[in-house]
Structure formats: C-alpha cells, structure tokens
Amino acid sequence: MTAMHQQLSPLCPYCGDWSEKVGGDVIYPHRPDLHEKTFYLCRPCWAYVGCHPGTDRPLGRLADAELRKWKSRVHAEFDPIWQARWERKAAEDPKYKKAMARGGRYKALADLLGIPREDCHIGMFDVETCKRAVEICESGQLES
C-alpha cells in the first residue's frame, strides 16, 4: 500500500488493517440512491464509514455493526433536540440559524460528556460514549 493511500485510508480500530475506498454499491447493493457515495470499508470486520459529500474525507471513524447501531440511536435522540430548539428559537428570531441550534446542543453535550467541543462528533464516538450520550439526551438535560 502506498504512503498516500495510508494517509487517506482510515486504519480499522478492530483488526488494525487498512480500509479501502469503495462505492456505496458495495456497502448498500440494495440502495441505488447510495451507489455513488464514497465509503471506507474494512472487509475482514465489515466496519465502514461514509465520506463527506464530494470528498474522500471520512465522516467519522470506521464502525462495526454494534457501533453503527449506537450511532443511529444517538442521532435518533439528539437530532430532535437540536431541531426542536431551532424551530422554537427561529419562530422568535428569524436570524436564528440551524447551525446555531445544532452547535449549541453539541457544546452542551460536550460539556455533559466532559470532552472538548471539537471532539464532540457522533461520527467519532465509540460505543461507550454513544451510550452516555443517549442517557444524557433521554435525561432531558439538553432540552433548554
């Protein structure tokens, strides 16, 4: 593997192998709408991560089935919280943007998790951090 490939291709946290860049057709053969998207895949572990649209930059860390389940659960709990905040605040102030609501809730989540804001991305969470984030969301501490 070339040095350039190693720089771009995430290392699998489960087995230590380098992942490979693949199309969405490999990950989701039954979803034609995802075939053009870019992913990194560790074939031995079937851990994968999508990329930012139009780039080869991963959206987070490689995730196996368990971690993907927990990340989805965090999003299911967290996204309605920041979206409700945006809707409520935007009704009061049309200049209030989605990014402000989302960023504010990520900042609050980071504080409650005890991690720096710049490290608070669901795509980078491990299973334990996902579980803690779900507990925080369910506790109502982010709904202010």
* pLDDT per residue as tens digits for the range 9-67: 899 999 999 999 999 999 999 999 999 999 999 999 999 999 999 999 999 999 999 99
> 120: exposed, middle or buried (C-beta count within 10 Å: 0-12, 13-18, 19+)?
buried
List all residues 6 or more positions away from 123 whose beta carbon is below 8 Å from its beta carbon: 49, 58, 59, 60, 61, 71
- How many helices (H) and strands (E) would you count in the chain? 5, 3
Taking the model in full, what pTM does it have?
0.87
* Other residues' Cβ atoms within 10 Å of the Cβ of residue 38: 18
